[in-house]
A and B are shown apart, each in its own frame.
Chain A
Amino acid sequence: MGDFFSTIFTSDYIFTIIRVMTPILFAGLACMTFTKGGIDSIGIEGIMLLSAMAGSVGSYFTQSAFGGVLIAIGCGILTAFLFGYVTLQLRSVEILAGIAINTLASGLTVFVIYYVAGEKGSTQSLMSPTVPNVALPVIKEIPVLGNVLSGHNLLTYAALILTLLLAFLFYRTPLGLRIRSVGENPQAASSVGINVMKYKYITLVIAGTLAGLGGAFMSMGYVSFFSKEMIAGRGWIGMAAEAMGRGNPFGIFASSCLFGLADSMATQLQMLNIPAQLVQTLPYVITIVAISVYSYRKSRLVRKM
């Protein structure tokens, strides 16, 4: 047991948690935005996958990490718009449209990298610049805390700042209030003169940007290339984080940390001779248990009222 704790509680380990949690936090924030605007978020997985590919390929063509991130964001917004067009204008069933976006992403990404990189699996052969890691000036001098907080990817810091910004946006500004009202009751919102479609599309822009950043982090920060199916369920874990965090940015941050913890524990526990595959199920098991417990308590509460 002493072994166990000495592997878990090191500053390196906590550093890893923050790194692993970043894409989940982006996904969770994107899902939160979707949900607040009353849009189903199952397409998040596909939006992130397409953005990851766009980021890597874009950074190769522009030979700049910034260009890559911008293209990833653009791709995220465009894909979110496609989803919006299909569900809002063509009136497709939202879940089916989301599944279609995911299917499209898994085919289209392979298609594109085959023509750009010449192979179907990944873009490892392309020299694409990545988003740099940043050492924070004063904080890095602090003994233990410095090792944990400093030296992360620029996008990780962006995710943390965006968490605060979104909390402000949704709870302290008229725009946030309108988005939430459109999501909660479009008829009521429309009756007081809010243009429902306009705010739905604003929701899509914000969520698309967040998902695009999450995708960009995967192919330009987490690793330095795009490989097929590299999102590997992180978008859906983001959905779970959103549900567990009760749609609150800080709750989502906390549950993303929990998933980051479980995910990086998987890597650590493998060193202690526990079968790797069993440990890999851990983040998903925790999600199901946490969501069920939370929903059970909520439904009991509703029944009492």
Chain B
Amino acid sequence: MANRRKAKSKLAYIEAMRTCVAIGSSILIVCAIIFLISSEPASAIKDFLLGPLTSARRIGNVIEASVPLMFTGLAVLLLQRAGMFNLAMEGAFFIGAVAATAAALTLNLPSGLTLLLACLAGAAAGAVVCGLPAVLKVKCDSNVLVTSLMLNYICLYFGLYIIINFFQDPAMNSNYSYPFQDGVVFAKLFSKTRINTGIIVCAFCVFLIWLLLNKTSFGYKVTMVGENAVMAKYSGMNIGRLVIGSALLGGALAGLGGAVDLFGMYPRFQYAGLTGYGWDGILIAIVARHKAQYTPIAALFLGYLRTGADVMSIHSDIPSEMIKIIQAVVIILISAQAILSGYKKKLVIQEARENEQEAS
């Protein structure tokens, strides 16, 4: 038993190693690119790697940037837990912000209550968006990937329609909504930064999802459906309900993320298009190894890289979009089963031999 636990921790160690190798090599690749094309590579790389630590405001930027990422990371975690590649979290995040705007600008209630209801409206809208592909999958057996990708564009245009036709501020020349009433905002926690009470909501969600996935029967069942749907079916689980349930919850998290980002960072609705946070959520979920408790670390990591890239693009000739190259390489390397697989196999065989000896 002790041996087995040791072997298991060794396997976990290999997985952690793989994550580190993936992240390290992607950063190395980008540094190599910077060396090839920048006129001042040394200062660019220094800005990129250490820039976020140079002032309180920038450390704040890292944390602010990680809040929406934690929400979408959790959303992806839940959506994929039941074995579905539902990619509607991108649209759910956007439509969550739209619904929250609509609620905040139509409700005439005390500001605290308005904020609460607006956040709930965002979560509900997100749940509907992510729930739809799951329902269509269960009822019609339609391809989740395709329907959820199409749904993202529907969310974008429908959301813009709502904002432009009902809430657009004529004083602004872009598709900005009217400003929210005073008090409908997540209060700032520290001066000099934009870190706000939204982060508390976020931390609470991380805890809640950890609890749900690890300590409840719902979490156990959903995981089972994702790992082995046939076995789950024959052990009497209602697969359809579990798939839809996890999609609704994931969508609600993404929608809530949109609302929290909106009320924490902006005085009015001002997204011009889809934010990309949903796609980032996939990276967060992978780096966090699909464990809720690690999503904050993964989100802070990506937030750090983003802030570093921004600092670098201000002072040098490298555009901040190079961060996407890192993201792509990290996704590929972490999901690549072949890397370090030889070592992993050796460990599994070693473990089996030890067990055999123990038995004889």
B161 and A233 within 8 A (CB): no
Of A90-98, A134-142, A189-197, A201-209, the one touching chain B: A90-98
A296 and B141 within 8 A (CB): yes
Count of chain B residues near A, Cβ 8 A? 43
Shortest C-beta distance, A95 to chain B (Å), equals: 5
With a cutoff of 8 Å between Cβ atoms, the chain B residues found around residue A278 in the complex are 157-158, 161
With a cutoff of 8 Å between Cβ atoms, the chain A residues found around residue B332 in the complex are 86, 90, 92, 96-97, 100
B145 and A285 within 8 A (CB): no
B153 and A108 within 8 A (CB): no
Given A86-B332, A90-B336, A103-B279, decide whether A281 and B153 contact each other with a Cβ distance below 8 A: yes
Taking the complex as formed, is B50 at the interface, i.e. its CB lies under 8 A from any CB of chain A?
A: no
Of B102-110, B237-245, B319-327, B349-357, the one touching chain A: B319-327
A92 and B324 within 8 A (CB): no
Shortest C-beta distance, A75 to chain B (Å), equals: 16
- Whole-angstrom distance between the alpha carbons of A237 and B146 in the complex? 8
- Which residue of the partner chain B has the closest CB to A294? B142
- Taking a contact as CB atoms closer than 8 A, the residue among A99, A107, A240 that contacts B321 in the complex is A107
With a cutoff of 8 Å between Cβ atoms, the chain A residues found around residue B161 in the complex are 275, 277-278, 281
Return the CB mask of B26-41 against A: 1 if under 8 Å, else 0.
Answer: 0000000000010000
A99 and B282 within 8 A (CB): yes
- Taking a contact as CB atoms closer than 8 A, the residue among B165, B323, B331 that contacts A107 in the complex is B323
B146 and A240 within 8 A (CB): yes
B150 and A111 within 8 A (CB): no
With a cutoff of 8 Å between Cβ atoms, the chain A residues found around residue B85 in the complex are 95
With a cutoff of 8 Å between Cβ atoms, the chain B residues found around residue A30 in the complex are none
Describe B's contact surface by its main secondary structure: helix
A281 and B157 within 8 A (CB): yes
- Taking a contact as CB atoms closer than 8 A, the residue among A42, A89, A296 that contacts B145 in the complex is A42
With a cutoff of 8 Å between Cβ atoms, the chain A residues found around residue B284 in the complex are none
Taking the complex as formed, is B5 at the interface, i.e. its CB lies under 8 A from any CB of chain A?
A: no
With a cutoff of 8 Å between Cβ atoms, the chain B residues found around residue A115 in the complex are 37
Taking the complex as formed, is B338 at the interface, i.e. its CB lies under 8 A from any CB of chain A?
A: yes
Taking the complex as formed, is A267 at the interface, i.e. its CB lies under 8 A from any CB of chain B?
A: no
A284 and B150 within 8 A (CB): yes
Taking the complex as formed, is A16 at the interface, i.e. its CB lies under 8 A from any CB of chain B?
A: no
Taking the complex as formed, is A114 at the interface, i.e. its CB lies under 8 A from any CB of chain B?
A: yes
With a cutoff of 8 Å between Cβ atoms, the chain B residues found around residue A53 in the complex are none
- Which residue of the partner chain A has the closest CB to B282? A99
B328 and A236 within 8 A (CB): no
Taking the complex as formed, is A110 at the interface, i.e. its CB lies under 8 A from any CB of chain B?
A: yes
With a cutoff of 8 Å between Cβ atoms, the chain A residues found around residue B322 in the complex are 107, 111
Chain A 85-132 interface residues, beta-carbon cutoff 8 Å to B: 86, 89-93, 95-97, 99-101, 103-104, 106-108, 110-111, 114-115, 120
Taking the complex as formed, is A243 at the interface, i.e. its CB lies under 8 A from any CB of chain B?
A: yes
- Taking a contact as CB atoms closer than 8 A, the residue among A120, A280, A295 that contacts B142 in the complex is A295
- Which residue of the partner chain B has the closest CB to A90? B336
With a cutoff of 8 Å between Cβ atoms, the chain B residues found around residue A291 in the complex are 142-143, 146-147
A295 and B141 within 8 A (CB): yes
- Which residue of the partner chain B has the closest CB to A104? B328
Taking the complex as formed, is B230 at the interface, i.e. its CB lies under 8 A from any CB of chain A?
A: no
With a cutoff of 8 Å between Cβ atoms, the chain A residues found around residue B319 in the complex are 110-111, 114, 120
- Whole-angstrom distance between the alpha carbons of A100 and B336 in the complex? 12
Taking the complex as formed, is B139 at the interface, i.e. its CB lies under 8 A from any CB of chain A?
A: yes
With a cutoff of 8 Å between Cβ atoms, the chain A residues found around residue B152 in the complex are 233
Given A103-B279, A104-B324, A106-B324, decide whether A295 and B143 contact each other with a Cβ distance below 8 A: yes
- Which residue of the partner chain B has the closest CB to A40? B145
Shortest C-beta distance, B36 to chain A (Å), equals: 11
B279 and A287 within 8 A (CB): no
A92 and B336 within 8 A (CB): yes
With a cutoff of 8 Å between Cβ atoms, the chain B residues found around residue A281 in the complex are 153-154, 157-158, 161
B325 and A107 within 8 A (CB): yes
Given A100-B328, A236-B146, decide whether A288 and B37 contact each other with a Cβ distance below 8 A: no
- Taking a contact as CB atoms closer than 8 A, the residue among B142, B153, B328 that contacts A233 in the complex is B153
Chain B 205-243 interface residues, beta-carbon cutoff 8 Å to A: none
Given A89-B338, A278-B158, decide whether A101 and B328 contact each other with a Cβ distance below 8 A: yes
Taking the complex as formed, is A198 at the interface, i.e. its CB lies under 8 A from any CB of chain B?
A: no
Chain B 282-329 interface residues, beta-carbon cutoff 8 Å to A: 282, 286, 319, 321-325, 327-329
With a cutoff of 8 Å between Cβ atoms, the chain B residues found around residue A91 in the complex are 336-338, 341
16 A–B contacts, CB within 8 A, in A order: A86-B332, A91-B338, A92-B336, A95-B85, A96-B332, A100-B329, A107-B324, A111-B319, A233-B152, A275-B164, A277-B161, A280-B157, A288-B150, A291-B146, A292-B140, A295-B141
Which residues on B are within 8 Å of A, measured CB to CB? 37, 85, 136, 139-143, 145-147, 149-154, 157-158, 160-161, 164-165, 279, 282, 286, 319, 321-325, 327-329, 331-332, 335-339, 341
Which residues on A are within 8 Å of B, measured CB to CB? 42, 86, 89-93, 95-97, 99-101, 103-104, 106-108, 110-111, 114-115, 120, 233, 236-237, 239-240, 243, 275, 277-278, 280-281, 284-285, 287-288, 291-296, 298-299
**Besides A96-B286, A284-B157, 15 new A-B residue pairs in contact (Cβ under 8 A), listed by A number:** A90-B336, A91-B337, A91-B338, A99-B331, A103-B279, A103-B327, A107-B324, A110-B321, A237-B150, A240-B146, A243-B146, A275-B165, A278-B161, A281-B157, A281-B158
